[in-house]
């Protein structure tokens, strides 16, 4: 991993802008070929924007319009999800889901979804009556009429999925540049010159995976044709002792055809409730609000009853990169957004921009489809090359991760005998050891911040939310990175925790 290096740089075959889950998978899939790939990320860690805060559902594929790219991608990605998670050592549970209908309108909707799902190739879908539904999920609103059961829906650890893709890309040779914000793009003599606040990079091909900012990157070389309108979604997280309130992902059949408010188990054994949907001006505004939280509670009680909100341990918000087409107003000449948003992912070369590719408008189910998108995009880029060589040394597997808390006592004792750092529990809520924290720091694309350790090792995810372990993690980061405590950040750039010493 390279932090800030200026000076002479090689010409890369491909520069990928943005190290979220899609950038990670695009880079990983490109590295199945012998290519020099650079991954440029503006933040001090990877997967810190859209990939960081979402519902983490591995969708089955019954929502997308038949024929849309995302329809086929979701179904294939869902079928292959277990395999990719095994390669990358990521936690994934196939929980199944229920879309519940309350009243006549809901019934019509679930039959529509069933029809659409069948067209898209989703397997095993079934309509359940009221009694069958309540037998599976006793906390569902008893006023329910019917539900659509889909066995292939799952939940994944969203941070780990994105991080694993980037880590595996770096393991296979991608060069990751953090704190490197792309500020301009220019094509000169057949090569792209990518200007950043960390110097200039040059490449034959550029793939724009900049999430909420993909429109701004695209407009550096192409005419504006889409705009990303940020749409915030807020959530509650309930402690693991409320974790059996539902066992499956519970959707509501909704009039506006959105996925709406959901109650879902997480891979960590918590319950997640949300998200809301609110269009914003500011792409970085991930604050939570009492107003939206109250709205979520009132919407959710239509589907699941008795949610123990006194077990809420955290609230957070994610921002959807909602793409809208733009066109020029013939009278004023101004660019205007269409009312209708874009119904598919925007993947490929914009007009007149050879060898520059957009991966834009990657809202839900972008997490589910990330590997498929990576594969599709790598295919588009490789098709432009003459004699691309397969990389025989490509390894799709990520080194095994120790999950101490999930091991038997005998296995734990054996580990402690091998490495005494497994004998020191750093996070008491989630039983994460010092050795796991150190591993999170020293893997490729490793953690450099307290929250970076959290996303990789699972520290601070329990009831105390880091109240006890933050100090210990600060000390380990300081020791391992050889930096004073005052220079260790909690999360984003400048989020220092310690301001100085009193004595
Ligand atoms: C509320 C919500 C719920 C969702 N629920 C689900 C779900 O249940 N299931 C599902 O499949 N999907 C879901 N999604 C969608 C999924 O989270 C996204 O599709 C996916 O995370 C998008 O990843 P990305 O890599 O495209 O974007 P990001 O993760 O945002 O990555 C883009 C990266 O580009 C970087 N970048 C931006 N500008 C620059 C620049 N100028 N220079 C350098 N780097 C730059 C950013 O810092 C960022 O790291 C949800 C999304 C939201 C917000």
42 pLDDT exceeds 70? Answer: yes
Task: Tell which one of 40, 55, 75, 195 to mutate to probe ligand 1, the residue whose CB is within 8 A of the most ligand atoms.
Answer: 55
103 pLDDT exceeds 80? Answer: no
| 487, two tokens | 């220079």
174 pLDDT exceeds 90? Answer: yes
Contact 45 CB / ligand 1 (< 6 Å) = no
Mean pLDDT calculated for residue range 449-461: 95
Contact 41 CB / ligand 1 (< 6 Å) = yes
6 pLDDT exceeds 60? Answer: no
Tell how far the Cα of 108 is from the centroid of ligand 1, in angstroms.
Answer: 32
What's residue 4's pLDDT?
42
Say which DSSP state 389 is in: P
**Of 330 and 92, the one with more pLDDT:** 92
Query: Using CA atoms, how far apart are residues 42 and 40, in angstroms rounded to an integer?
Result: 7
3 pLDDT exceeds 90? Answer: no
Mean pLDDT calculated for residue range 155-183: 97
Query: Using CA atoms, how far apart are residues 147 and 100, in angstroms rounded to an integer?
Result: 4
Query: Using CA atoms, how far apart are residues 145 and 107, in angstroms rounded to an integer?
Result: 8
What's residue 502's pLDDT?
83
| 471, two tokens | 């100090």
Catalytic residue among 59, 82, 245, 311: 59
Tell how far the Cα of 23 is from the centroid of ligand 1, in angstroms.
Answer: 9
Mean pLDDT calculated for residue range 33-47: 98
Atom 39 of ligand 1, nearest CA residue: 210
Tell how far the Cα of 252 is from the centroid of ligand 1, in angstroms.
Answer: 24
Task: Please check whether residue 236 is in contact with residue 346, taking contact to mean a CB–CB distance below 8 angstroms.
Answer: no
Mean pLDDT calculated for residue range 187-195: 95
Tally of CB atoms within 10 A around 327: 12
pLDDT in tens, 107-138: 889 999 999 999 999 999 999 999 999 999 99
Mean pLDDT calculated for residue range 17-39: 98
What domains can you pick out in the chain, each with its CATH number? Answer: 92-152+231-319 (3.30.9.10), 404-487 (1.10.10.1100)
Tell how far the Cα of 318 is from the centroid of ligand 1, in angstroms.
Answer: 9
Contact 48 CB / ligand 1 (< 6 Å) = yes
- Find the range with the poorest average confidence among 44-53, 77-86, 252-261, 474-483: 252-261
Q: Give SS3 for 11.
A: strand
What's residue 349's pLDDT?
98
Torsion over CA: 481, 483, 486, 487 (sign): negative
pLDDT band of 328, cuts 50, 70, 90: confident
What's residue 5's pLDDT?
45
What distance lies between CA 138 and its chain's CA centroid? 30
Query: Using CA atoms, how far apart are residues 320 and 55, in angstroms rounded to an integer?
Result: 11
Mean pLDDT calculated for residue range 408-428: 96
Contact 415 CB / ligand 1 (< 6 Å) = no
Q: What is the per-residue DSSP string for 121-152?
A: T--S-EEEEHHHHHHH-TTB-TT--EEEEETT
Mean pLDDT calculated for residue range 312-323: 94
Task: Please check whether residue 171 is in contact with residue 395, taking contact to mean a CB–CB distance below 8 angstroms.
Answer: yes
What's residue 7's pLDDT?
60
What's residue 255's pLDDT?
66
Q: CB within 8 A of 243, min separation 6: which ones?
A: 265, 269, 270, 271
Angle, CA 300 vertex, CA 294 and CA 306 arms, to 5°: 95
pLDDT in tens, 485-499: 999 999 999 999 998
Task: Please check whether residue 114 is in contact with residue 127, taking contact to mean a CB–CB distance below 8 angstroms.
Answer: yes
Query: Which candidate, 164, 187, 227, places its Cα nearest to that of 27?
Result: 164
- Exposed (0-12), middle (13-18) or buried (19+): which is 46, by Cβ within 10 Å? buried
Average pLDDT, the chain: 93
Q: At what angle do helices 158-171 and 366-383 cross, to 10 degrees?
A: 20
Contact 491 CB / ligand 1 (< 6 Å) = no
59 tagged catalytic: yes
Query: Using CA atoms, how far apart are residues 135 and 68, in angstroms rounded to an integer?
Result: 35
Contact 165 CB / ligand 1 (< 6 Å) = no
pLDDT band of 340, cuts 50, 70, 90: low
What's residue 353's pLDDT?
96
pLDDT in tens, 242-278: 889 999 999 998 766 556 789 999 999 999 999 999 9
Structural Rg of the chain based on CA atoms: 23
Query: Using CA atoms, how far apart are residues 272 and 155, in angstroms rounded to an integer?
Result: 11
What's residue 338's pLDDT?
65
What's residue 339's pLDDT?
54
Query: Which candidate, 445, 455, 497, places its Cα nearest to that of 472?
Result: 497
Task: Please check whether residue 15 is in contact with residue 184, taking contact to mean a CB–CB distance below 8 angstroms.
Answer: no
pLDDT band of 483, cuts 50, 70, 90: very high
Bridge-partner residues for 336, per DSSP? 327
> Which segments within 280-408 are labelled E, that is strand?
312-328, 335-341, 346-348, 356-360
Mean pLDDT calculated for residue range 230-247: 93
pLDDT in tens, 54-95: 999 999 999 999 999 999 999 999 999 999 999 999 999 999
**Of 259 and 15, the one with more pLDDT:** 15
């Amino acid at each position: 991993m390279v932090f800030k290096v200026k000076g002479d740089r090689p010409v890369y075959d491909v520069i990928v802008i943005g190290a979220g889950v899609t950038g990670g998978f695009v880079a990983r899939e490109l590295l199945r070929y012998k290519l020099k790939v650079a991954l440029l990320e503006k933040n001090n860690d990877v997967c810190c924007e859209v990939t960081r805060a979402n519902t983490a559902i591995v969708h089955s594929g019954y929502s997308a319009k038949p024929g849309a790219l995302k329809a086929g991608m979701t179904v294939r990605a869902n079928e292959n999800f277990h395999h990719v998670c095994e390669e990358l050592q990521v936690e994934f549970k196939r929980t199944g889901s229920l879309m519940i209908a309350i009243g006549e309108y809901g019934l019509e909707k679930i039959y529509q979804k069933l029809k659409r799902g069948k067209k898209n190739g989703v397997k095993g879908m079934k309509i359940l009556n009221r009694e069958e539904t309540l037998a599976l999920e006793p906390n569902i609103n008893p006023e329910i009429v019917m539900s659509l059961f889909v066995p292939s829906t799952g939940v994944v650890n969203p941070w780990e999925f994105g991080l694993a893709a980037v880590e595996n890309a770096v393991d296979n040779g991608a060069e990751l540049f953090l704190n490197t914000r792309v500020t301009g793009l220019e094509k000169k003599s057949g090569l792209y010159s990518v200007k950043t606040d960390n110097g200039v990079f040059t490449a034959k091909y550029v793939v724009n995976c900049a999430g909420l900012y993909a429109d701004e990157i695209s407009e550096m070389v192409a005419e504006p044709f889409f705009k990303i309108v940020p749409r915030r979604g807020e959530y509650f997280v309930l402690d693991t002792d409320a974790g059996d309130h539902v066992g499956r992902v519970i959707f509501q059949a909704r009039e506006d055809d959105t996925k709406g408010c959901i109650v879902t188990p997480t891979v960590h054994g918590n319950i997640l409730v949300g998200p809301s949907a609110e269009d914003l001006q500011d792409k970085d505004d991930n604050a939570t609000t009492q107003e939206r939280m109250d709205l979520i509670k009132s919407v959710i009680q239509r589907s699941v009853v008795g949610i123990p909100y006194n077990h809420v341990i955290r609230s957070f918000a994610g921002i959807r990169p909602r793409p809208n087409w733009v066109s020029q107003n013939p009278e004023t000449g101004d660019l205007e957004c269409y009312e209708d948003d874009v119904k598919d992912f925007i993947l490929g070369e914009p007009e007149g921009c050879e060898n520059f590719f957009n991966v834009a408008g990657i809202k839900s189910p972008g997490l589910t489809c990330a590997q498929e998108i990576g594969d599709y995009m790598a295919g588009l880029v490789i098709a432009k090359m003459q004699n691309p060589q397969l990389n025989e040394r490509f390894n799709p597997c990520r080194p095994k991760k120790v999950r101490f808390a999930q091991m038997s006592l005998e296995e734990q004792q054996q580990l402690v005998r091998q490495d005494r750092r497994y004998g020191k529990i750093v996070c008491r809520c989630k039983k994460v050891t010092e050795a796991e924290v150190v591993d999170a720091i020293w893997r490729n694309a490793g953690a450099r911040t307290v929250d970076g350790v959290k996303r990789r090792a699972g520290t601070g995810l329990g009831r105390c939310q880091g109240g006890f372990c933050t100090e210990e993690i600060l000390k380990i980061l300081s020791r391992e990175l050889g930096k004073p405590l005052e220079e260790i950040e909690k999360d984003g750039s400048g989020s220092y925790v310690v301001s100085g010493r009193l004595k």
